[in-house]
Amino acid sequence: MSEENKQKSSIWGGRFRTGPSDLMQEINASISFDKNLYSEDIEGSKAHALMLEKQQIISPEDLKAIQNGLDQIYTEISNNTFSFKIELEDIHMNIETRLAELIGEPAKRLHTARSRNDQVATDIRLWLRNRIDELDAELQRLQEILLHKAEKNIHTLMPGYTHLQTAQPISFGFHLAAYIEMMGRDRQRLQDCRKRLNESPLGAAALAGTSFPIDRHMTAKTLGFDRPMANALDAVSSRDFALEFTSAAAICAMHLSRLAEEIVIWSTDRFNFIRLSDEFTTGSSIMPQKKNPDAAELIRAKPGRIIGHFVSLATILKGLPLAYGKDMQEDKEPLFDTQKTLSISIAAMSGMIADMSVNQAAMRDALQKGHPTATDLADFLVRELNKAFRDAHHISGSLVALADDKGCPLEDLSLEDMQKIEPLLDESVFAVLKIEDACNARSSFGGTAPDELKKRLEDAASRFNLNQEMK
């Protein structure tokens, strides 16, 4: 047997006489991506070794050698001096093999009472828990940026849209505040996912537990888990936490995409509501005048990638019998890329919102089109003339049609023209057609009125633990 084949087969022990073919090695190896788990793998191994020593399964001398060796490996990987080998398949065997090179016999005792099945499940949960904490901080920062921008634009009036048609006057701050709430729910979904994944698989071994007198509660506590998972078979088989994360990430990416689309629209020449900084735009190779909102467009596209990862992961897990199947190795790449894609999308959105300037005049000019106070007119007819709302709706619609025929806003119709449609109208009607009054009137809970919006922003800062002073 060649030396290369000896090395390939050595990780399997005596059952195999030769190593896998080069093709099998290529399809089987995961080290190219699961090396991202090195920190978590070392953390889990140190906790496992600590427990083995406490339970008198390994000696204190073995524990000290293992811990020192793992510390050295961590330094090597962190400093990019570690040599990863594809023939060792994954991060677990790469670290274990290097540990044996460094400390000899004690390294062989580290794997007592565990399997790569519970080891990788533990690593992924530790990795994802850390990444969720990072994403939560990134989303919190985005909320704070939105909050700051909203507070500065409480009185910046703009059209609110339905069907992308002018609907009612709102403030720009009110519009941005909607995304504070969306991002808050995204954070809650991620936090809920974190709660469910924070149970330890370590000690489940291959699928049925172990005959060694281990203490799974100790390793769970050491690693910051709430408890050990209650069923060893479930512990090594379940990846629903990863599926739940990609689902929550897909929803968050969708929210970012909606805001990105609005940024694209608002920055067009036709709207001109905002201007993006040079840091988040690009030019054209042929048209010198162009300033393209590429960052927003890329964020708009990212949900396709993340939703694809959700579908991929769901398809991988669908129909898998318990316990572990090599299929589950395919969970890592979609999971890793989902986190990376979402993180960079949040960062880009935070940068765009922080840097963008607001064209208040253009927003106000847009309110001169589309008759945004038509609903206020209908409400006035109900409130002041005791009309049934459906009748008031019809009268207001008739006045809108008249204004369109005359090519003017509702408030520019003469009282005489209005009275031809509704004779009971008098001069008081013009007060409700003013844009500011229409916005101020919507003071119901959650409405766009400035005083109400201020209250809701203060409440959001408290509920989501946001710093109202820019960091």
* Residue 170 Cα to chain centre, angstroms: 28
In the residue annotation, 284 being an active-site residue is answered as yes
- Going by C-alpha positions, the residue among 182, 184, 219, 187 that lies closest to residue 200 is 219
Residues listed for the chain: 471
Query: Are 116 and 207 spatial neighbours (Cβ–Cβ below 8 Å)?
Result: no
Orientation of helix 38-54 relative to helix 116-152, angle to 10°: 130
In the residue annotation, 2 being an active-site residue is answered as no
Owner of token pair 């949040």: 346
Helices (H), 112-165: 116-152
Contacts with 286 (C-beta within 8 Å, 6 or more apart), sequence order: none
SS3 358: strand
Residue 450 to residue 177: CA distance in whole angstroms: 12
Positive or negative torsion for Cα 48, 50, 54, 56? positive
Catalytic residue among 163, 211, 285, 444: 163
Residue 210 to residue 212: CA distance in whole angstroms: 5
Both structure tokens of 93: 């065997």
Instruction: Give how far Cα 102 sits from Cα of 70, 72, 73, 402, Å.
Output: 9, 9, 9, 88
Contacts with 452 (C-beta within 8 Å, 6 or more apart), sequence order: 442, 443, 444, 445, 446
What DSSP character marks residue 164?
Answer: T
Residue 174's CB: how many other CB atoms inside 10 A?
Answer: 27
Both structure tokens of 294: 């590429």
DSSP assignment of 201-244, as one string?
Answer: -TT-TTTT--SS---HHHHHHHTT-SEE-S-HHHHHH--HHHHH
Query: Are 437 and 375 spatial neighbours (Cβ–Cβ below 8 Å)?
Result: no
Catalytic residue among 21, 59, 78, 284: 284
Catalytic amino acids? 163, 284
